[in-house]
Amino acid sequence: PREHQPEYLGQRLAAGLRAAQLRPVDVAYFRRGSGRGDAAALPPTASLLRLEGQAIVSGLRRNAGAIELRLFNPLTVPITAHLRLDDALWREEHPFRAERVDLEGRSLAPLDMVDDGAWALPLRPKEIATVHLT
């Protein structure tokens, strides 16, 4: 039926948003492919950048060729957040450098990579931190 056409899904968008809300029936439809060509099934989740730990992302933007990520520790104890690039092939083709910066974007210190594709960011209680990925 027409309700499974991407054009129909796009009609549910408002105010120029660039995302679509999918109903369970829509998800099942897109996971098995639309029947047009050899569409591979989508993974349950996918992300280029993943935050692990209890920190909260309070801002994300592109700034002067860098990705600027602002994090907040909502706890009253120190924590370590881990930023991970999920796609290994993308990491090889686009090596990133991560550094902690102040609120004006001035470099404070590079972040230590703890394993393949993850940087560790220690945060004090209630601390706000900004990271540039370049």
Beta strands in the chain (DSSP E): 49-52, 56-63, 66-72, 79-85, 98-101, 107-110, 112-115, 118-123, 128-133
Cα separations in angstroms, 92 against 24, 87, 99, 110, 116: 35, 9, 19, 19, 11
Q: What is the mean pLDDT of the chain?
A: 77
Q: Do residue 5 and residue 35 come from a single domain?
A: yes
Q: Are residues 117 and 63 in the same domain?
A: yes
**Using CB atoms within 10 A of its CB, is residue 67 exposed (0-12), middle (13-18) or buried (19+)?**
middle
Q: Is the pLDDT of residue 79 over 70?
A: yes
In a shared domain, residues 100 and 116: yes
Question: Could you tell me the pTM of the whole model?
Answer: 0.64
| Sole residue written with tokens 């990705």 | 67
Q: What percent of the chain has pLDDT over 70?
A: 62
Tell me, yes or no, whether 35 and 54 share the same domain: no
Do 121 and 60 lie in one domain? The reply is: yes
Structural domain containing residue 6: 1-44
Co-location of 25 and 76 in the same domain: no
Partner residues linked to 107 by β-bridges: 101
Number of compact structural domains in the chain = 2
101 and 88: one domain?
Answer: yes
Sheet holding 128-133, edge to edge: 56-63, 66-72, 128-133, 98-101, 107-110
Give tens-digit pLDDT for 21-53: 677 777 766 666 555 544 555 566 667 788 999
Domain end residue (candidates: 27, 44, 61): 44
Claim to verify: residue 72 and residue 107 sit in the same structural domain: yes
- Residues 116, 71 share a domain: yes
59 with 104, same domain?
Answer: yes
Task: Count Cβ atoms below 10 Å from residue 60 Cβ, excluding itself.
Answer: 11
